[in-house]
Amino acid sequence: MDRRLTREALRLMELHQPFVRATVVHTLGSVPGKLGASLLMRADGSTLGTVGGAALEERVKDLARSALTTHEGGLHHFDLRKWQEGGLPSLCGGEVDIAVEYVAAHPRVLLWGGGHVAEAVGRLLPTVEFDFAVADDRPEWVGEDRFPSAERREVVVAGELFRTFAPAEFTHLYILGYDAGKDTDVLELACQRFPGEIGLIASAAKRTHIFAELRRRGVDESSLGRVRSPVGVPIGARSPPEIAVSIVAELVRDANEGPRHKNPGGSPPEDG
């Protein structure tokens, strides 16, 4: 095992960035990359390590780039005998199997509002190894007693949220607040500045009111179209713990399958 690749994999995981790892898992005969040789490809296409070089490596790089797009890996067999039909242009004479593994970026979640749903979400996120921070303008709602596993717990007014937290450091923002006016302010800022996924917990009436107010403030339809509301996968959730399950399931789905901006029917209730 290459320690450089292990360190880089851990670094990318801590930065919440996806990558692909390709590893030689079986060999037969003479091959350029020995058993266990690995190549890591980052999201920008740069690489570290090698599975043997030459045509084999270029083919593996193509597979890695594809895996970054499809979020799917696989086991691939290569014949390194140029004279064989379907063989790579290689004179090594052996055969090799390479496992291509897509490693998803774990979500890093920012919760606006420290109410009952947020507290339940905060209890679940560590069980799936997802990092999170929480903010509220009420000190008693963001204490360590409510969010013992949060990376950060900040008391901040709605309009200052993104002066306290750098938006680009998070993959998801869930607006789980208790006040429609403050939630509207946070959502307006998020539409302008938050690059990741945005979720708003709201009843249909609250959602209609907030969207109408944001349109009045000049927020365009494409920005509003980024907002998930209802939030969570549609499991008929009603209580805060059930809604939390649906939200964390949504995060797991995003990590494994990629984000989906539209949610046809998640969990509608408001928090308080």
Q: Read off the CATH number of the domain in which 221 is found.
A: 3.40.50.720
Q: What's the whole-number mean pLDDT along residues 91-113?
A: 87
* Residue 141: pLDDT band with limits 50, 70, 90: very high
The pLDDT value recorded for residue 200 is: 97
Domain boundary among 52, 69, 103: 103
Helix axes 240-257, 116-124, angle to 10 degrees: 50
Residue 269 domain-assigned? no
Residue 271 domain-assigned? no
The pLDDT value recorded for residue 88 is: 54
Question: Exposed, middle or buried, 198 (CB in 10 Å: 0-12/13-18/19+)?
Answer: buried
Domain boundary among 69, 103, 137: 103
The pLDDT value recorded for residue 71 is: 86
Please provide the average confidence, as pLDDT, over all residues in the chain. 89
- For residue 86, pLDDT beyond 90: no
Asked if residue 255 lies in contact with residue 131, where contact means CB atoms within 8 angstroms, the answer is no
Better-scored residue on pLDDT, 189 or 168: 189
The pLDDT value recorded for residue 84 is: 55
Strand order through the sheet with 172-175: 152-155, 131-136, 108-112, 172-175, 197-200, 227-228
Model pTM score: 0.75
Residue 266 domain-assigned? no
Domain boundary among 62, 88, 103: 103
- For residue 219, pLDDT beyond 50: yes
- For residue 53, pLDDT beyond 80: no
Range of the domain at 55: 3-103
CA distance linking residue 257 with residue 107, whole number of Å: 12
- Which of 44, 52, 37 shows the shortest CA–CA distance to 4? 37
Q: Is residue 252 domain-shared with residue 201, that is, in the same domain? A: yes
- Say whether 157 sits in a helix, a strand or coil: coil
Tally of domains in the chain:
2
